Structure 1
Amino acid sequence: MEAGGVTFAVRAPAAAALWLCLFDGEVENRVAMVRDGDGWRVHVAGVDEGARYGFRAEGDAPFDVAKLLVDPHATELDRAFAYDPRLAEYGADTAALVPKAIVRAPLPPLDLPPLTRAGGLIYEINVRGFTMLHPDVPAAQRGTVAALAHPAVIAHLRKIGVDTVELMPITAWIDERHLPPLGLRNAWGYNPVVPMALDPRLVPGGLRELRETVAALRVAGIGTVLDLVFNHTGESDLLGPTLSLRGLDDSAYARAADGTLINDTGTGNTLDFSRAWVRALVCDSLRHFVAQAGVDGFRFDLATVMARGPGFAADAPIFAEFAADPLLRDRVMIAEPWDTGPGGYQLGAFPDGWWEWNDRYRDDVRRFWRGDGGMGALATRLSGSSDVFGAERTRGVSFVAAHDGFSLADLVAHAERHNHANGEDNRDGHGGEIAWNNGVEGASDDPAVLARRAADVRALLATLFATRGTIMLTAGDEFGRTQRGNNNAYAQDNATTWLDWVGRDVALEDVVAELAARRRALPALRDPALRHDAHWYRPDGAPMRDSDWDGADDVELRLPEFTVRVDRAARRVEVRAVPLSR
């Protein structure tokens, strides 16, 4: 924005003409834009903050001037995206279907208290599902980012020792095209369209709402990480909707030698990070959320895509660009270190300073407590996974359950997925997830079965909180959230994913609070630097030998500051600030 008007600019190098479309209600006023290198530009006098706009691109197919296109740099939209078949129909006008971008001036500079970012407890939150059923949050605020700043919510976060909240996607997304005919909606948000605009369903107060929530959490000593999706956009495959990048410059999407879209994401398209302008859009987005909202870091969905060009490279340009940026270089960066493409699994390969979701921790810990995993693997995970990250420092984010997969309570009650409600004949989701049912599949009223499940959940939680470095807990797992065996609940925007605050297991919640308090009292446990003065012992007090690990069910880890005892038969993991035995 400038005095007396607004300059609009957008990239569309192959277009023959570009039109800025200004809206007064439903009345559209088209203004021709002027080519400026690979982009187009126009200054319009008299336009002020709050103006609504989009673009139309003209040229040979696949350009379709009938499609209203959202500015890839939009920071606010007038409504959420809603799927309609006409969005993918060539020649069908979509002005009435597509959200309009809103002109907004930058907010004033932030003044936030500092936050110490040593390793801690990350708390993964599905923003909408987190408070939809919270009795203390006002009805109008439930399901929004603002609800996270409610005193009752902050009190809960502090009770269980949360250091950082990780918010599942809150930028504007669109439902996958197969969901509306099934009467379903995307509940997770991993299908974004534009990277900077917040979704009005989750953040109706826009950027100001996000920054006020970040500030309230920071005052409580809690950081905020945004889970962002830069691996693909909701424009999907060639049959998908034309909403933004596809209609302006679809060179953003990676293509094979024969011109077909590369699908390393399993969602129809993959952004091409070998292109400098794609990386620039990503960097602009991160800077926007740091400068305007004060967020402390980012978690990147299917992060391997960002280092492809076309193959994964540990020295990919995006890493250097983040590290050199004065606004980004001190932010927390967390990778989901895999995608579905060739060589997509890259756990341990991201640069120093990055944290990585450690699925090997998840799998080995689950196998151990299921009974078919060894003590040696568990010991390695408890100690920080030096086999993955090296012997000096762990960069892993250790977790036993996340949004994707069984909830913690469900993984000890279901040996099989139960995803029928997703409308895909129970074919979606992980068919071989490491889980067990303690003899009865699903709900049970057998006291013995329920007792075994409760013991398993407590053992899993105790293991997590006894683990070196950074750990992650998904919201609700501290009080027994269940998805009734659905291990891919992305399409369940209903009681399946809405946390049951009234019926929660408060006794389990209290156990987690105690575990968190013990962990917080031991800085050496949370320190990601790996220790070489840690030693493992047998129950008789003798040091563990290599031959002892096979079949071991009871061991003790000793450091000068604390001791950890693992007893599989008793379903117990115990951490003490003083030695258990010598």
Structure 2
Amino acid sequence: MTAGRPAPLGATFDGDGVNFAVFSENATRMQLCLFTPDGQTETDRLDLPERDGDVWHGYVSGMRPGQRYGLRAHGPYRPDEGHRFNHHKLLIDPYAKRLTGHPAWNDALMGYTVGAKQQDLSFDTRDSAPYMPKSVVEDPAFTWGGDTRPEVLTEEAVIYEAHVKGLTRLHPKAEPPGTFLAMASDPMLEHYTKLGVTSIELLPIQAFVNDGFLEEKGLTNYWGYQTLGYFAPDPRYLSEGKINEFQQMVARLHSAGLEVILDVVYNHTCEGNEMGPTLAFRGLDNAAYYRLADDRRYYINDTGTGNTLNVDNPMVLRMVMDSLRYWVQEMHVDGFRFDLCSTLGRTDTGFDRGAAFFDAIRQDPVLTQVKLIAEPWDIGPGGYQLGAFPPPFLEWNDKYRDGVRRFWRRDPGRAPDLAERLTGSATQFDHSGRPATASVNFLTAHDGFVLHDIVSYNEKHNEANGEDNRDGHSNNYSDNMGVEGETSDKRVNEDRARRKRALMTTLFLSQGTPMILAGDEIGNSQMGNNNAYAQDSEISWIDWSRADEDFLRFVQRIIAFRKDQPILRQKRFLHSRERMIDGMEDLFWRRPDGKPMEPSDWNDPGLQTLCVEMRTASGTPPYGATATAIFAVFNAGDAIEVAIPDPGTGTWSKHIDSADPEGEIAPVENGSIEVGRESVSVFVLEGEE
């Protein structure tokens, strides 16, 4: 081994050998451990010979990709001071581009002696290598050919949140099931494109662990929010263990015009609190990688998982930024959804939209070219920050989810909130030059009830999680329509189908960026489980054999309608401003009798019908004279007669009626029309001069 270079960090193959570089501010010695090809036998233990600042490095001539390795860090074991070095524990390289598998849970993985008095202050001398996956030297070079990013404009995006295994495990033709390759197989590409989505958002695919407490119950970490390696794709989604399978998936999705967005977890790691295992970051430099409490023995837990990553440390922030750039530049992904993103913006004085993490991303020439989506909350102090993130971040809008569900559940007084959600949630987002598309509108996501269960269950049914149904949200704003769970009652099933169509239509008529959960479009159910994080089972896998083809056709239709109507995809907020083209306002709220809404109408808790006319926000119409306005009626009550606005020189035509999913486009012959119960009707003004 020779000195090598301090950059780049990780294991880098240069054609002649491999350079290793590892950050640790407080270590006193850093060792590289080499293993046989099967990863079972440690063959060499080499000291990294140089330290440049806080980076330890060395170069091994003649080494090739495929070499299995790990790290051992020497230093003080003084938990009360925040230091938990234990060279008996083999560590994952935080920059490893591939891992051989997952930890096999054993007490030897702990830096302390399990069962000792004041356990985490004790020191364990067992070697953890037999139970640890190994890092693998990789050359990520890939022949991308003519791969080009779809670069979908945000105002044209339709996001499809999916789990790699859950989406493909039971699909009859996606091969090999449960893998990256299945995600981009021909039948899946056909499904995405026919559905009309533009961007596939994958639940965490960076290497993650199966929690020991779940394995003890016969469960697993299904969702993946326990990251072990920020550069390595999780081995469980690789059919042959090669990282180019992920690259092949991206290339195939790109060829179909589809973006790839990754759900990433940079707020915490899989190592938990002081009672957790020593797998990587804790052993390399606990005091640098984690935010510690005033009593340095303990961790700040703003994430609810036991620890919080310390992105205030410049080298930890560098790791996050290097990881993000790696997935963009080497793996060609098109964006990121940041789990518990409030944590990444929290400083000693609270949440700061000018925190180091946000500033680093906003000045980065690579990352400013991709989509950035924040989950705008965590459980820490001041953790709920919906609308507070800086541009160009988009944000998951839970107020949209809850507001729309409650309106269609007929909760009293919900019409004003629905109006707010239909027009982009301006109260939260119309500031700092942010567009209406900053609001990611969704009815469902991986966390909570799926769409079919919203209309099928009043209560959560999480017994399979082994927590006596105590886990998961209890307030789901759902309605079982008279029967809890599946039923053969024709009326109940028709009512459920009707409400699902109304909900989905509302989503695609709203200003903002729509997101749907994979499986909702075919009526998939999780049998009332609203917290399926541990269910790698039929509960979470999408059952394609029971696909609701009628509902699928309707969802395809409503997505296509949105794409055909730029009025629904404007970046500017609609605020009843006068349009430059004709002096008319861009937004009108009307009562069913056609008169303008008055304050007394908005304050009526029994208001269940909302009528809105939307027009282009400014300038000339975006598409000739074929349509200049849309009139939509959202009726959560009984059937009602609704006055149609004066069409002037044009003609109103009904394009969508969620109560009549197969209905044809038809002109409105007179000044009023009946809108069915619990339905949405949409009219387009055509031919106006």
Higher mean displacement: 20-29 or 484-493: 20-29
Is 1:506 the counterpart of 2:549? The answer is: yes
Q: Is the 8 A contact 2:142 2:247 kept in 1?
A: no
Secondary structure (helix, strand or coil) at the match of 2:351 reads: coil
Q: Distance in 1 between the 2:327 and 2:389 partners?
A: 23
- How far has the Cα of 1:83 moved from its partner? 3.3
Which shows bigger deviation, 280-289 or 515-524? 515-524
Q: What is aligned with 1:216? A: 252
Does the alignment pair 1:308 with 2:383? Answer: no
Corresponding residue to 1:96 among 118, 125, 130? 130
Give, in angstroms, the shift of residue 432 of structure 1.
2.1
1:367 counterpart = 2:435: no
Q: Residues 82, 465 of structure 1: CA spacing in aligned structure 2 closer, same or farther, 3 A cutoff?
A: farther
CA offset digits 1:152-202 (Å, max 9, x no partner) = 101111111101010000111111221011000111111111111110111
Aligned equivalent of 1:562: 630
Query: 1:70 is matched with which residue: 83, 92, 115?
Result: 92
Q: Does 1:282 align with 2:320?
A: yes
The DSSP-based 3-state class of the residue aligned with 1:576 is: strand
Q: Is residue 472 from structure 1 mapped to residue 507 from structure 2 by the alignment?
A: no
Q: Give the corresponding residue for 1:540.
A: 593
- Give the drift of 1:480: 1.0
2:41 is equivalent to residue 27 of structure 1: yes
Matched, 1:393 2:393: no
Q: Which amino acid aligns with 1:266?
A: G
Contact 2:181 2:245 in 1 (8 A): yes
Residues matched between the structures, number: 579
How much has 1:577 moved relative to structure 2? 2.8
The more displaced of 230-239 and 424-433 is: 424-433
Q: Are 1:128 and 2:162 matched, yes or no?
A: no
Matches of 2:28 and 2:524 in 1, distance apart? 54
Q: Secondary structure at the match of 1:293?
A: coil
**Structure 1 residues 240 and 155: CA distance shift in structure 2, 3 A:** same
Larger radius of gyration: 2
Indicate conservation of the 8 Å contact 1:483/1:496, yes or no.
yes
8 Å Cα contact 2:410-2:608 kept in structure 1: no
Contact 1:273 1:308 in 2 (8 A): no
Out of 534, 553, 573, the position equivalent to 2:608 is: 553
Give the TM-score normalised by structure 2: 0.82
> C-alpha separation between the residues in 2 aligned to 1:523 and 1:112?
28
> Following the alignment from structure 1 to structure 2, what is the Cα–Cα distance between the partners of residues 84 and 574?
59
Work out which of the residue numbers 349, 352, 360 in structure 2 matches 1:321. 360
Distance in 2 between the 1:58 and 1:338 partners? 37
Distance 1:367 1:93 in 2: 55
Cα distance between partner residues in 2 of 1:118 and 1:265: 29
SS in 2 for 1:562: strand
Report the equivalent of 1:333. 372
Aligned to 1:356: 395
Q: Look up the match of 2:3.
A: none
Given candidates 4, 17, 23, the residue that maps to 2:29 is: 17
For residues 107 and 161 of structure 2, the distance between their equivalents in structure 1, rounded to whole angstroms, comes to 33
Q: Report whether the alignment pairs 1:57 with 2:96.
A: no
Give 1:74-473 correspondences, 5 Å limit.
Answer: 74-88=96-110, 89=113, 90-108=124-142, 110=144, 111-115=146-150, 116-119=152-155, 120-138=157-175, 141-204=176-239, 205-250=241-286, 251-259=288-296, 260-310=298-348, 311-373=350-412, 374-390=414-430, 393-394=435-436, 395-473=438-516
- Using the alignment, how far apart are the partners of 1:15 and 1:375 within structure 2? 60
Kept in 1, the 8 Å contact 2:32–2:48? The answer is yes
Instruction: Name the Cα RMSD after superposition.
Output: 1.7
Relative to 1, partners in 2 of residues 1:85 and 1:447: Cα closer, same or farther, differing over 3 Å? farther
Residue identity in the other structure for 2:403: D
Query: Match for 1:42: what amino acid?
Result: G
8 Å Cα contact 1:134/1:500 also seen in 2 = yes
Alpha carbons 1:170, 1:203 under 8 Å: kept: no
Distance in 1, Cα, partners of 2:572 & 2:411: 30
Other structure's SS at 1:299 match: strand
Query: In structure 1, what residue type is equivalent to 2:53?
Result: G
- Do the aligned partners of 1:396 and 1:470 also contact (CA within 8 Å) in 2? yes
User: Conserved in 1, the CA contact under 8 Å of 2:140 and 2:244?
Assistant: no
- Equivalents in 1 of 2:143, 2:328: separation in Å? 11
- In structure 1, what is the Cα distance between the partners aligned to 2:680 and 2:463? 36
Q: CA deviation at 1:117?
A: 2.0
Shift of 1:109: 7.2
Tell me how far apart the structure 2 counterparts of residues 82 and 159 of structure 1 sit (CA, whole Å).
Answer: 42
Amino acid at match of 1:405: G
Structure with higher RCO (Cα < 8 A, 6+ apart):
1
1:484 counterpart (503, 524, 527):
527
Cα offset, 1:104, TM superposition: 1.4
State TM-score, norm by structure 1: 0.96
Unaligned 5+ residue runs, structure 1?
A: none
- Higher mean displacement: 154-163 or 1-10: 1-10
CA distance in 2, matches of 1:577, 1:74: 54
Percent identical pairs in the alignment equals: 44
Cα distance in 1 for residues equivalent to 2:681 and 2:180: 36
Asked if the contact 1:273–1:309 (Cα under 8 Å) also holds between the matched residues in 2, the reply is: no
Query: 1:306 corresponds to which letter in structure 2?
Result: L
Which whole-Å CA distance do the structure 2 matches of 1:71 and 1:169 have between them?
A: 19
Mapped partners of 2:250, 2:134: distance in 1? 26
Shift of residue 108, structure 1, vs aligned partner: 4.7
